[in-house]
Chains A and B, each alone.
Chain A
Amino acid sequence: MSRDSSSSAPGGPGARSGRTGPARRASRFGRLVDGGLLLQGGVQGSPVLRLFVRWVRRPLLPAVRLWRRNIQLKVVVTTLLMSLGVVLMLGFAVMSSVNNGLLKAKVKASQSQADGGFRAAQDSVNAARQSTEQGQGQGPDGSTVDGRNAAVWMSDLVEQLSSGGQNAFAVVTLTSTSDAGSVRGSRASGGVEPILSVPEELRGRVDKGTEVFQANTRIEYDDGREAQPGLVIGKRLNDLNGDPYQLYYLFPLTQEEESLNLVRTTLATAGLFVVVLLGAIAWLVVRQVVTPVRMAAGIAERLSAGRLQERMKVTGEDDIARLGEAFNKMAQNLQLKIQQLEELSRMQRRFVSDVSHELRTPLTTVRMAADVIHEARVDFDPVTARSAELLADQLDRFELLLADLLEISRFDAGAAALEAEAIDLREVVRRVVGGAEMLAERKGTHIRVVGDQQPVVAEADARRVERVLRNLVVNAVEHGEGKDVVVRLAAAGGAVAVAVRDYGVGLKPGEATRVFSRFWRADPARARTTGGTGLGLSIALEDARLHGGWLQAWGEPGGGSQFRLTLPRTADEPLRGSPIPLEPDDSRRHRGLNDAGLPLGGGNKLATVPAQAAAVSQKASPPVPAKGPIAPRLARAAAVDLTALPGNGSRVVSRRSPDDEVSSAVREGSESPAPQRGTTTSPDSQQAQKSQQAQQAQQAQESWETQGSQAPPQPQESQARSREPEPEPEAEAAREAEAGSAREGESARGR
């Protein structure tokens, strides 16, 4: 039973543990019935993915936090990135223009040089042919003579062509690749390694076409010199014999390359410097702005922490100085106002104290005099005797009113102080019930105390708690119309609660919050039987608030009411839930009856059960078996006693009546077609069956949170029928379930 263990965990919020119930169910329905919804939900559908995202995010979190919190870092990083981009763009632009300027010229010069070369080679071939034709007859063996001549001619040609270059270029001739087996080898000038220096791809191209081709290459040397970048321009020509050969001009680009490298390095260095400098400048500039802002933030924090004398240092007349001046002015005004308010509050307290004294001293005299007269009234004539009685009675009332007024004004002035110590609420309840016995007897009411088997200890101000409870019990007896009053105690998690239940006239819708208003009266037309001052519940509310606790009311017209006081177990701990549901288990709605006392339809009833009441009821107080609506009280009382009430969140096996088994079966049946609704209801038996899977709570809970928040509003008509006194039971439930929303709960009470 995970819910029990979680509710008994120290500090474990009561309502939170109750939440695992609906959460589990919600996730189940989410998977079984509406799997598509989860898929649409994105990341939530895949725990593995979620785990991965979490795993990735965890080490990054500090950096992300720093990024989010540090404006200086943000600005500097942004500046760095942007200036880096700008510098890169600029660098590329400059590089390409330099490239153009340097290389294009060289390439053009090289091309014209090569063209000249190619023409010269062609001319040389033509000239050689002519001379051969003129000087020699063509013989049958001419080919071999020509072959030797051609080789010599080729070597001469290379030498001749390269001689004009003065090492500005080298000339290479290669045989056509298609004629690889030819005896004519390659020739090269200037120690160039011909095969390696001319790219294969270029040779292919030259071989296929007759026009001029060019390519970038690395020129290799066979005399041990280092290879250097170069431009190679090639063309296919025919030699003496008319055989094709390839003539290449190789132009070393070393100088140009070196110049370009120099420019590139310079640009990169300059760019890096610029980026770093810009970053540094941004850092400095932002620091100038951020430092005063940070100072302002720090001082504002200290101001809000109450150190009102804190001021900013102001130097100069710039915007920052104006900020500082405005800030200081604000702080000064704030200080002044706060001082004024403090002074006012002090005066108010003084005034209350003085009025108290000044009023009370004469009142004491009057009081004593009236008592003396009252004691002696037997000796008076009837009129005077009655007057003496009235005088004494009304003095009592006056006194009470004065005391309550002073108490309220003490709260208003913030002068009320809590004297918390560990007290057993059972003692307080016993005293209160003992004190109310007389009134109860007069009204024919029996006050029962439930849940006082174990100690219910909390750090509280016994005087105030007693005052609250006395108020609640006396109210319950007064408005209980002679029916029983049940005082219920419970403790669970970090909270203790006392609920006072009556079965009297109850509260109309909306009255549950108004009862705490000052001088509020349920029915102005109704005669006042007892001399309440109309401030009792207001004071009780303030008392509860002073403890950091809740005082809430529930009621249904004609069905009685329940007032619940919830206090944190230790004084400073925020409340998260109450061990007792605000709406009692024997309310008309929980018994499945409408206002007229007739049974409701099962499905409709389900839709209107608020999650909070159900969730808390599983954990804290076992359900009161559904018996007859206005059944004899004794029968119900016995049923209540049968079920063990948890004193301090210990395990409770709720005993169920056969009626409940049936009704829960009905609920289960009616629940499955409406899974969304299921998130707001929780039949106990189902709960018990499913509680073993509670360990997956973490995951399930999250899916419930999202689903639960999207739970559809209650059907209007059923809400109207149920006439729920609380305006938004679901919202209330959500609020109670919400972890760390103690103040919320309080505001809910005060709404």
Chain B
Amino acid sequence: MMSGMKGRVLVVDDDTALAEMLGIVLRGEGFEPSFVADGDKALAAFREAKPDLVLLDLMLPGRDGIEVCRLIRAESGVPIVMLTAKSDTVDVVVGLESGADDYIVKPFKPKELVARIRARLRRSEEPAPEQLAIGDLVIDVAGHSVKREGQSIALTPLEFDLLVALARKPWQVFTREVLLEQVWGYRHAADTRLVNVHVQRLRSKVERDPERPEIVVTVRGVGYKAGPS
């Protein structure tokens, strides 16, 4: 149990019953929930509440969840977990591409939700000063920064975790399942699309040419590995 970790969670959901239920569960697990029901007001609520994590329903009145996700991502790297009723590929991929770190499909169990939230919040309590190199990138794990030739590259915490996981063991080929477990904290294999989408996003930020990746290399049929440094 990670007692003592008081996470502030912003719940963006228009269904009041679900929001209330989420509140009950989250409070029971020691989180501090705050609520907003309207997509248009979500950004303002986000700025005001300064949450450690956002639970975002994809279908919202006013601005839809995808848009809200993009807006929040534009100004913060705070973890975003989408709540979606649509497990269809397109919806999930669109959500992930708009910046969400993880998604959870309704109906979910409270424990599942809490596990995901914890997994997203856990990383903030990793200290360990560590310098890693991957390709021509230099990663300062404790300082949470990635630099190429002195220029720092802005990554979300999740992208950073993904990069660090690959960079720590450059000799190892990571299957998507292993990455899911290490980066997302899933015990059981879930949707590997998460990995695909986030690898794409990471590449678009760290690769010189995302079409010909050199930092995060695909190993056909297996998974990904760090490129030679």
With a CB–CB cut-off of 8 A, which chain B residues contact A410?
A: 88
- Chain B, residues 1-40, CB within 8 Å of chain A (1/0): the string is 0000000000000010110011011001000000000000
Cα of A366 to Cα of B15 in the assembled complex, Å: 13
Contact of B86 among A356, A364, A457, A463 (CB under 8 A): A356
With a CB–CB cut-off of 8 A, which chain B residues contact A490?
A: none
User: Judging by beta carbons under 8 Å apart, are A367 and B109 in contact?
Assistant: yes
User: Judging by beta carbons under 8 Å apart, are A357 and B107 in contact?
Assistant: no
Residue A363, interface by CB 8 Å:
yes
User: Judging by beta carbons under 8 Å apart, are B17 and A353 in contact?
Assistant: no
User: Judging by beta carbons under 8 Å apart, are B15 and A463 in contact?
Assistant: no
Cα of A423 to Cα of B83 in the assembled complex, Å: 29
Residue A361, interface by CB 8 Å:
yes
With a CB–CB cut-off of 8 A, which chain A residues contact B108?
A: 364, 367
Q: Which one of A371, A415, A422 has the highest number of Cβ atoms from chain B below 10 Å of its Cβ? A: A371
Residue A586, interface by CB 8 Å:
no
Contact of A419 among B18, B89, B109, B221 (CB under 8 A): B89
Cβ of B49 to closest chain A Cβ, rounded Å: 22
User: Judging by beta carbons under 8 Å apart, are A372 and B107 in contact?
Assistant: no
Cα of A462 to Cα of B107 in the assembled complex, Å: 23
Task: Give residues 76-110 of B contacting A (CB, 8 Å).
Answer: 83, 85-86, 88-90, 106-110
Task: Give residues 23-72 of B contacting A (CB, 8 Å).
Answer: 24-25, 28, 59
Total cross-chain contacts (CB, 8 A): 75
Task: Give residues 107-155 of B contacting A (CB, 8 Å).
Answer: 107-111
Evaluate whether A372 and B192 lie within 8 angstroms (CB atoms) in the complex, with A353-B88, A362-B17, A367-B109 already known: no
Task: Give residues 438-457 of A contacting B (CB, 8 Å).
Answer: 455, 457
Residue B175, interface by CB 8 Å:
yes
Interface size class of B (residues with CB under 8 A): 20 to 34
Evaluate whether A357 and B189 lie within 8 angstroms (CB atoms) in the complex, with A367-B109, A371-B110, A399-B107 already known: no
With a CB–CB cut-off of 8 A, which chain B residues contact A353?
A: 86, 88
User: Judging by beta carbons under 8 Å apart, are B110 and A422 in contact?
Assistant: no
User: Judging by beta carbons under 8 Å apart, are A365 and B21 in contact?
Assistant: yes
Cα of A357 to Cα of B188 in the assembled complex, Å: 25
Cα of A440 to Cα of B226 in the assembled complex, Å: 38
With a CB–CB cut-off of 8 A, which chain A residues contact B25?
A: 368, 372
User: Judging by beta carbons under 8 Å apart, are A361 and B18 in contact?
Assistant: yes
Cβ of B96 to closest chain A Cβ, rounded Å: 13
Residue B209, interface by CB 8 Å:
no
With a CB–CB cut-off of 8 A, which chain A residues contact B110?
A: 367-368, 371-372
Task: Give residues 205-229 of B contacting A (CB, 8 Å).
Answer: 220-222
Evaluate whether A427 and B177 lie within 8 angstroms (CB atoms) in the complex, with A361-B85, A422-B220, A422-B221 already known: yes
Cα of A462 to Cα of B175 in the assembled complex, Å: 12
Residue A690, interface by CB 8 Å:
no
With a CB–CB cut-off of 8 A, which chain B residues contact A357?
A: 59, 85-86, 106
Cα of A455 to Cα of B83 in the assembled complex, Å: 37
Residue B168, interface by CB 8 Å:
no
Cβ of B163 to closest chain A Cβ, rounded Å: 22
Cβ of B63 to closest chain A Cβ, rounded Å: 17
Cα of A417 to Cα of B92 in the assembled complex, Å: 13
User: Judging by beta carbons under 8 Å apart, are A371 and B109 in contact?
Assistant: yes
Q: Which residue of the partner chain A has the closest CB to B175? A: A427
Residue A655, interface by CB 8 Å:
no
With a CB–CB cut-off of 8 A, which chain B residues contact A369?
A: 21
Residue A481, interface by CB 8 Å:
no
With a CB–CB cut-off of 8 A, which chain B residues contact A367?
A: 107-110
Task: Give residues 326-358 of A contacting B (CB, 8 Å).
Answer: 353, 356-357
Task: Give residues 213-233 of A contacting B (CB, 8 Å).
Answer: none
Residue A104, interface by CB 8 Å:
no
Cβ of B2 to closest chain A Cβ, rounded Å: 19
User: Judging by beta carbons under 8 Å apart, are B107 and A360 in contact?
Assistant: yes
With a CB–CB cut-off of 8 A, which chain B residues contact A463?
A: 191-193
Cα of A371 to Cα of B28 in the assembled complex, Å: 12
Evaluate whether A364 and B89 lie within 8 angstroms (CB atoms) in the complex, with A372-B28, A424-B221 already known: no
User: Judging by beta carbons under 8 Å apart, are B85 and A356 in contact?
Assistant: yes
Cα of A362 to Cα of B25 in the assembled complex, Å: 15
With a CB–CB cut-off of 8 A, which chain B residues contact A455?
A: 221
With a CB–CB cut-off of 8 A, which chain B residues contact A371?
A: 109-111
Cα of A361 to Cα of B189 in the assembled complex, Å: 24
With a CB–CB cut-off of 8 A, which chain A residues contact B193?
A: 419, 463
Cβ of B20 to closest chain A Cβ, rounded Å: 8
User: Judging by beta carbons under 8 Å apart, are B107 and A363 in contact?
Assistant: yes
Residue A431, interface by CB 8 Å:
yes
User: Judging by beta carbons under 8 Å apart, are A431 and B177 in contact?
Assistant: yes
- Chain A, residues 411-437, CB within 8 Å of chain B (1/0): the string is 000010101001110010001000100
Cβ of B15 to closest chain A Cβ, rounded Å: 5
Evaluate whether A372 and B24 lie within 8 angstroms (CB atoms) in the complex, with A361-B15, A422-B220, A455-B221 already known: yes
Cα of A365 to Cα of B19 in the assembled complex, Å: 8
With a CB–CB cut-off of 8 A, which chain A residues contact B106?
A: 357, 360-361, 363-364
Q: Which residue of the partner chain B has the closest CB to A349? A: B88
Cβ of B1 to closest chain A Cβ, rounded Å: 15
User: Judging by beta carbons under 8 Å apart, are B88 and A415 in contact?
Assistant: yes
Cα of A587 to Cα of B111 in the assembled complex, Å: 45
User: Judging by beta carbons under 8 Å apart, are B21 and A462 in contact?
Assistant: no
With a CB–CB cut-off of 8 A, which chain A residues contact B59?
A: 357
With a CB–CB cut-off of 8 A, which chain A residues contact B177?
A: 427, 431
Cα of A367 to Cα of B112 in the assembled complex, Å: 12
Cα of A129 to Cα of B38 in the assembled complex, Å: 153
User: Judging by beta carbons under 8 Å apart, are A423 and B221 in contact?
Assistant: yes
With a CB–CB cut-off of 8 A, which chain B residues contact A419?
A: 89, 193
With a CB–CB cut-off of 8 A, which chain A residues contact B188?
A: 435
Cβ of A471 to closest chain B Cβ, rounded Å: 15
Evaluate whether A365 and B17 lie within 8 angstroms (CB atoms) in the complex, with A371-B111, A417-B89, A427-B177 already known: yes
Evaluate whether A431 and B189 lie within 8 angstroms (CB atoms) in the complex, with A353-B86, A372-B28, A424-B222 already known: yes
User: Judging by beta carbons under 8 Å apart, are B86 and A365 in contact?
Assistant: no
With a CB–CB cut-off of 8 A, which chain B residues contact A423?
A: 221
Cα of A353 to Cα of B85 in the assembled complex, Å: 8
With a CB–CB cut-off of 8 A, which chain A residues contact B189?
A: 431, 466
User: Judging by beta carbons under 8 Å apart, are A365 and B18 in contact?
Assistant: yes
Q: Which residue of the partner chain A has the closest CB to B105? A: A360
With a CB–CB cut-off of 8 A, which chain B residues contact A356?
A: 85-86
Cα of A427 to Cα of B193 in the assembled complex, Å: 16
Cβ of A434 to closest chain B Cβ, rounded Å: 9
Cα of A377 to Cα of B108 in the assembled complex, Å: 20
With a CB–CB cut-off of 8 A, which chain B residues contact A368?
A: 18, 21-22, 24-25, 109-110
Cα of A410 to Cα of B107 in the assembled complex, Å: 18
Cβ of A570 to closest chain B Cβ, rounded Å: 12
With a CB–CB cut-off of 8 A, which chain A residues contact B90?
A: 417
Q: A361-B85, A424-B222 are in contact. List 5 more A-B contacts (CB 8 A).
A: A357-B86, A372-B25, A423-B221, A462-B176, A463-B191
List 6 interface pairs A-B (beta carbons < 8 Å), by A numbering.
A360-B85, A368-B21, A368-B25, A368-B109, A368-B110, A424-B221
5 tightest A-B CB contacts, nearest first: A357-B85, A422-B221, A360-B106, A360-B85, A364-B107
